[in-house]
Structure 1
Amino acid sequence: MAAILADRMLLSGDEAVALAAFNAGVRLGTGYPGTPSTEILEAFARLGGKAQWAPNEKVALEVALGAAFGGARTLITMKHVGVNVAADALFTAAYTGVSGGLVLVSADDPGMASSQNEQDNRHYARAAGILMLEPADSQQAYDFTGAAFALSERFQLPVMLRMTTRVCHSKSIVEQTPVPPPAGDPDFRRDVPSRVMIPAYARPAHRKLRHKLALAAEYAEHCAQTVVDMKGKALGIIASGVAAAHAREAAPEASILQLGFSYPLPMQAIRDFVASVEHCVVIEEGDPILLTELRADGLAVEGKPDSFRFGELNTERVRRILAHDDSPEAAPLAGKPPALCEGCSHRPVFEALHRLDCIVAGDIGCYTLGVLPPFSGMDTCVCMGASIGVGLGLRHVLPAAQARRVVSVIGDSTFMHSGLTGVAEMVYNPPPGGHVLMILDNGTTAMTGQQEHPGTGRGLMHEAAGKIVFEDVLRAMGVDSVVTVDPMASGTDLDQVIREALDSGKLSVIVARRPCILAAPKIRQYEKIIIEKKKTAESGRQGSGAEAS
């Protein structure tokens, strides 16, 4: 983020969202770090906004929903798979509605630059019944964010701002124009039928939701986010998000309808556009969602070959789609494969697991790289927190000789995110031969950029915060054996520690704790500042006490 804000700046899409949220009077930003969304809350906090990391995305949305019930504007950020975690609250939030503007940023990752799947979260808007806006560049990220808060308050619905990796991380010029201000200050007004979703209230709430969506569809027909760029009649392109930018570059002569308000769709505007051109092509990244909906409406539109469903689109790929060129694409240039850092404390852990021929149920984090040679130390990786459940499932069904080799491996931030319920399952339904869980605690959320979590004792801006001590929680939950080791300390025999846990037949947790080699210098600096601030505060209190006496 620019140190001195100007009317015209070069910003990434993430920075543009943060700036618009700050200018829109957002009272709270919350979320869980996940590439490519992480920088939004960090930029918002640097601007002076109140921002915090939640333990996971579901909690973030619930906190944001409470703030929105109180009439405050709230921003929630997460990557696309994080919406899966938040979905339980999201679907019902569409029924309850909101008072203050609530905008959820879903940062999708076509091409899976840093993700375990390529899901298209446009499906969520349709399934949950919430509004969706899709910016194509940083300027639209700024403009659409401001509009999203106003739309949320107008229709009293959550709005999903769907970003993608290219929009989040690419930089373009942003003109800092005024954004719609909030209607008023936070204020809670009791509305039990709207906010208590027992069946008697939920049934009419569903009908009310469908009415809101119908009104929103009417609004979308002529709103600023439905952008019609008429040129020639020979070719028309319908697109949303960054695909519209690619289409403009690939076919400068074509007329383009950009669906910035992508749910609910402005169907009459779409019909009029299709009728105005001789040939119409839908260009969309990911699933053929627009194509399917438009064809269901009886519109004669063409889509892309199925081979272009995978990965990000770019200008050249759009040219190929328009030219009906579905010949095999050139393989991408091979790059250097990712690897655990030299000196990373996860290295000896995976070396030990490999030597002991363990069956390893893994998890999401930089330690997932333990699957690669030379470690080859991970057998499964599904989603955040799945290592514990998957490991338990294997323990329950495998022959005893194999079951004794099963180990679940999870990181510290991931443990806070969704590992606690796995521990509850482990204690409640223990396998006959026990189980071994390893928490690789490097003191940070390393892979997404060294963010904090509830186990570090530091907040989003690295200030002092409450700290959850893993060992205390594990013992309180009923784990038989909890051992803490430094995997790189001289005298630590990891093989022996793991072997003893495997042979014990008990529920065992090994906390392998050593700060991330990249984050360690920063952590020491953060802790030093925290200590100095505590000393200053104590001196101030003592001075006040002396004056009072």
Structure 2
Amino acid sequence: MSGNEAIALGAYEAGVAVASGYPGTPSTEIMENLSRYEGVYTEWAPNEKVGLEVAIGASFAGGRALATMKHVGVNVAADPLFTASYTGVNGGLVLVSADDPEMHSSQNEQDNRNYAFAAKVPMLEPSDPSEAKEMVIAGFELSEQLDTPIMLRITTRVSHVKGVVEKGEPRSVKPVEELKKQPGKLVMLPAIARKRREVVEERMAQCRSLAETTPFNRIEEGDSKRGFITSGVSYLYVKEAFPEAAVLKLGMCWPLPENKIRQFAGMVDELYIVEELDPFLETHIKAMGINCHGKDLIPNQGELNTAIVRHAIDPASKSDLFAPVELPNRPPNMCAGCPHRGIFFNLSRMKVFVSGDIGCYTLGFLPPLSAIDSCVCMGASVSIAHGMAKALGDGGHDKVVSVIGDSTFIHSGITGLINTVYNDSASTLIILDNRITAMTGQQHNPASGYSIKGEAASSIDLEALCRAVGVKHVFKVNPHDVVETRRVLKEAVDLDEPSVVISEAPCVLLPEMKERKPVSYFTNQENCVGCMSCIRLGCPAISWTTFAEGEAEKRGYRKTQKGISKIDEVLCNDCGQCASLCKFDAITRGEGK
């Protein structure tokens, strides 16, 4: 199993009753796999804050509950997390934070061990899928034993690596028969919160004692010349790089087992802390007065690997490790037939600042479209556009457009739009409605009309929603009709009050789109004049052949023609954007030649 599959199995075997999350790489597959188990209620929440609040509610009712998200999602869920530390739990509550060192699919690189420290909750950190499963089960038990939420930190490597996982018997789940009212524990008015604050400190003292005895924190004896304290996937790199060395493996990375750390430090000549990203362990261990090496040798950004760890600590050693192979760059690109391409093609030709957001459409930043000018975090596009419009003032001639996907709009864009309308800025919002959460692998959302299990669900009417919050000018376009889309965009942008353009076309990777009868466009090359209008779309199905000197005339073209375009009919997804741009009848729909 992968780490994500193992976490889903662990939650099922632990008897989880309710699981809620928002899709985000590298965490997405946890919920997708958990939804396949019978007897577990699973859902995609509109955002991570809602997902954690749902899990907290299930826990208050007495059921075991799981919330899943990627590292930046914990930023969104931080408000309920910090207070849930005070309220504690009834049923066990586990929050999975999937961190992304190296930023394989993220806008930042943050170390969420810091959240466990700041929120005063214990954190477990597995090194492989087998541990991930066992730690989820242990997390629910610890949560109930200690009356606290438990955080489980995984990273991209642990999420996606495959390993042997032993299956066990699932715990029977009994439905909650009666709600237990506990206002003195769960109502966080200041007077009650002050009392619960004392409970948090008492609990953390318990956790520190537990950290000394848990089998997840273990000393592996070995060569005492060098000793390593490490956690998570970094443990595997240390074991590969220095298999004979003594190691203190911390499976509970917060709170720390201070007595065990002092014991281990006294066993070795030199102490090294190996961890990805922040000097989290190192900082706390040095605060204990223990001398050690850490980020003076180990990089504090990006993923580690065995070779990095070996050469950082022993640079003179001969390299008998498998070195990473340099691979050619493979720039990301929107799919052939992607509905977002028509929008960005038009925006790149308009005098507007484009405030972008998180999704497939962020690729509109790349050439040849080069149409996104900023991207910060989920939902920020709308508020940033409003702020820019206010900074420009009434005399500003530049226009600001924000671009957001349907799932991201629901996640955190609606409040930005309400603010835009309430405070009256002349900015235009474009909602790219492809009916799915595309970037993370086609997960459903409240606008798609289906639940996490693929069952029919209510679907938000985005146009009605925009009008309900006060937008007077709401337009709908088919982005594949590039010319008409440009006309509507210009009309919306020219308004001196808030406007919304809803771009409606399904993602080409949806099953119903892939099952269509294949019809593609092809190039009538005798009609092609080499204007390159279709090439500027940046569609991977369209290629360009440059003529050598004198070749154009030999082929019967104008002497000045530099080349011709060609459509790969296998890659073509029949969107017709190129055909809507061609003025010379060089692109035709039907059986290719």
Give the alignment partner of residue 227 of structure 2, picking from 217, 221, 236: 236
* CA positional deviation for 1:185: 5.2
1:471-482 to 2 correspondence within 5 Å?
471-482=463-474
Give the alignment partner of residue 36 of structure 1, picking from 1, 26, 30: 26
1:18 maps to 2:12: no
Are the aligned partners of 2:298 and 2:312 in contact in 1 as well (CA < 8 Å)?
no
Question: Which one is further off, 222-231 or 439-448?
Answer: 222-231
1:469 maps to 2:461: yes
* CA positional deviation for 1:254: 0.6
d(CA) in 2 for partners of 1:291, 1:16: 29
SS of 2:197's equivalent in the other structure is helix
> Which residue pairs with 1:285 in the alignment?
276
* CA positional deviation for 1:239: 0.4
* CA positional deviation for 1:332: 5.7
> Which residue pairs with 2:444 in the alignment?
452
Query: Which consecutive unaligned segments of at least 5 residues does structure 1 have?
Result: 1-10, 526-549
d(CA) in 2 for partners of 1:150, 1:307: 35
1:47 maps to 2:37: yes
d(CA) in 1 for partners of 2:205, 2:172: 25
Instruction: Label 1:200 to 1:164 Cα distance change in 2 as closer, same or farther (>3 A).
Output: same
> AA paired with 1:317?
I
Instruction: Label 1:426 to 1:331 Cα distance change in 2 as closer, same or farther (>3 A).
Output: farther
d(CA) in 2 for partners of 1:140, 1:104: 16
> AA paired with 1:206?
R
> Which residue pairs with 2:374 in the alignment?
380
Instruction: Label 1:32 to 1:524 Cα distance change in 2 as closer, same or farther (>3 A).
Output: farther
* CA positional deviation for 1:227: 2.1
SS of 2:385's equivalent in the other structure is helix
d(CA) in 2 for partners of 1:242, 1:414: 31
Task: Give the structure with the larger helix fraction.
Answer: 1
1:107-126 to 2 correspondence within 5 Å?
107-126=98-117
Question: Which one is further off, 29-38 or 180-189?
Answer: 180-189
Instruction: Label 1:61 to 1:43 Cα distance change in 2 as closer, same or farther (>3 A).
Output: same
d(CA) in 2 for partners of 1:186, 1:60: 23
Question: Which one is further off, 236-245 or 180-189?
Answer: 180-189
Highest Rg: 1 or 2? Answer: 2
Are the aligned partners of 1:233 and 1:254 in contact in 2 as well (CA < 8 Å)?
yes
Q: TM-score of the superposition, structure 2-length normalised? A: 0.83
Instruction: Label 1:63 to 1:325 Cα distance change in 2 as closer, same or farther (>3 A).
Output: farther
Q: Deviations over 1:251-275 (max 9, x none)?
A: 0011111110111111111111111
Instruction: Label 1:440 to 1:279 Cα distance change in 2 as closer, same or farther (>3 A).
Output: same
* CA positional deviation for 1:90: 0.4
d(CA) in 1 for partners of 2:406, 2:56: 27
Are the aligned partners of 1:394 and 1:403 in contact in 2 as well (CA < 8 Å)?
no
SS of 1:484's equivalent in the other structure is strand
Are the aligned partners of 2:297 and 2:313 in contact in 1 as well (CA < 8 Å)?
no
Are the aligned partners of 1:102 and 1:159 in contact in 2 as well (CA < 8 Å)?
yes
> Which residue pairs with 1:340 in the alignment?
334
Are the aligned partners of 1:32 and 1:56 in contact in 2 as well (CA < 8 Å)?
yes
Are the aligned partners of 2:17 and 2:173 in contact in 1 as well (CA < 8 Å)?
no
d(CA) in 1 for partners of 2:177, 2:442: 33
d(CA) in 1 for partners of 2:472, 2:109: 39
* CA positional deviation for 1:305: 3.2
Give the alignment partner of residue 216 of structure 2, picking from 225, 229, 239: 225
Are the aligned partners of 1:71 and 1:186 in contact in 2 as well (CA < 8 Å)?
no
Instruction: Label 1:187 to 1:71 Cα distance change in 2 as closer, same or farther (>3 A).
Output: farther
Give the alignment partner of residue 352 of structure 1, picking from 346, 351, 365: 346
Instruction: Label 1:522 to 1:322 Cα distance change in 2 as closer, same or farther (>3 A).
Output: same
> AA paired with 2:434?
N
d(CA) in 1 for partners of 2:480, 2:141: 53
Q: Deviations over 1:450-480 (max 9, x none)?
A: 0000011110021101111101111111001
SS of 1:168's equivalent in the other structure is helix
> Which residue pairs with 1:3 in the alignment?
none
Question: Which one is further off, 152-161 or 330-339?
Answer: 330-339
Give the alignment partner of residue 412 of structure 2, picking from 411, 414, 418: 418
SS of 2:193's equivalent in the other structure is helix
Q: Deviations over 1:284-306 (max 9, x none)?
A: 00100110100010012111337
Q: Deviations over 1:206-232 (max 9, x none)?
A: 110011011011011011211221112
d(CA) in 2 for partners of 1:330, 1:161: 29
> Which residue pairs with 1:72 in the alignment?
63
> Which residue pairs with 1:519 in the alignment?
510
1:405 maps to 2:396: no
Instruction: Label 1:263 to 1:179 Cα distance change in 2 as closer, same or farther (>3 A).
Output: farther
* CA positional deviation for 1:333: 4.0
d(CA) in 1 for partners of 2:505, 2:169: 47
SS of 2:256's equivalent in the other structure is coil
Question: Which one is further off, 237-246 or 188-197?
Answer: 188-197
Instruction: Label 1:523 to 1:412 Cα distance change in 2 as closer, same or farther (>3 A).
Output: farther
1:154-165 to 2 correspondence within 5 Å?
154-165=145-156
Are the aligned partners of 1:404 and 1:502 in contact in 2 as well (CA < 8 Å)?
no
SS of 1:518's equivalent in the other structure is coil
Are the aligned partners of 2:358 and 2:408 in contact in 1 as well (CA < 8 Å)?
yes
1:364 maps to 2:358: yes
Q: Deviations over 1:91-149 (max 9, x none)?
A: 00000000100000000000000000000000000001111000000010011111000
d(CA) in 2 for partners of 1:258, 1:312: 19
1:275 maps to 2:266: yes
Question: Which one is further off, 47-56 or 508-517?
Answer: 47-56
Give the alignment partner of residue 427 of structure 2, picking from 435, 445, 456: 435
SS of 2:428's equivalent in the other structure is strand
* CA positional deviation for 1:307: 6.6
d(CA) in 2 for partners of 1:233, 1:403: 69
> AA paired with 2:78?
A
Instruction: Label 1:429 to 1:523 Cα distance change in 2 as closer, same or farther (>3 A).
Output: farther
Instruction: Label 1:513 to 1:506 Cα distance change in 2 as closer, same or farther (>3 A).
Output: same
d(CA) in 2 for partners of 1:375, 1:473: 30
Instruction: Label 1:183 to 1:248 Cα distance change in 2 as closer, same or farther (>3 A).
Output: farther
Are the aligned partners of 1:135 and 1:141 in contact in 2 as well (CA < 8 Å)?
yes
Aligned length: 510
> Which residue pairs with 2:198 in the alignment?
207
d(CA) in 1 for partners of 2:174, 2:265: 38
> Which residue pairs with 1:27 in the alignment?
17
* CA positional deviation for 1:188: 2.4
Instruction: Label 1:26 to 1:368 Cα distance change in 2 as closer, same or farther (>3 A).
Output: same
d(CA) in 2 for partners of 1:114, 1:417: 18
